[in-house]
Amino acid sequence: MKFLRSSRRNRRNSNQNSLIPFRLNFLFVIVFLLFAALIAQLAYLQIVNGQKFSSEAANNDTYTETTNVQRGMMYDSTGKLIVGNNSSRAIT
């Protein structure tokens, strides 16, 4: 009887052992395909659309807009003005 039990255990262990490499290989294939898709997409963006993105980046321009920045008035306990509003440039 011990022989039958041990052979069943060995069969069960061998089935589990054969599934682990299959699962790992399957996982590696999926990860490889995802990385290949990512690299293909990056190549598409760089090679096919690279000129378009370069021209869009060159067309980006900054401009200066002068507005009054209201910060509020600060008074001390006697009511004397400590900090008032001054016109300055805003960073936008």
Taking only the tens place, the pLDDT of each residue in 26-47 is: 999 999 999 999 999 999 999 9
Residue 45 lies in a domain: yes
Residue 43 lies in a domain: yes
Residue 25 lies in a domain: yes
pLDDT of residue 42: 95
Range of the domain at 48: 2-61
pLDDT of residue 4: 53
Q: Which amino acid makes up residue 15?
A: N
pLDDT of residue 90: 65
Residue 86 lies in a domain: no
Query: Positive or negative, the Cα torsion across 27, 29, 32, 33?
Result: negative
pLDDT of residue 30: 98
Taking only the tens place, the pLDDT of each residue in 8-21 is: 555 666 566 677 88
Q: Quick check: 47 and 54 in contact, CB under 8 A? A: no
Q: Which amino acid makes up residue 20?
A: I
What CA–CA distance (Å, rounded) separates 40 from 46? 10
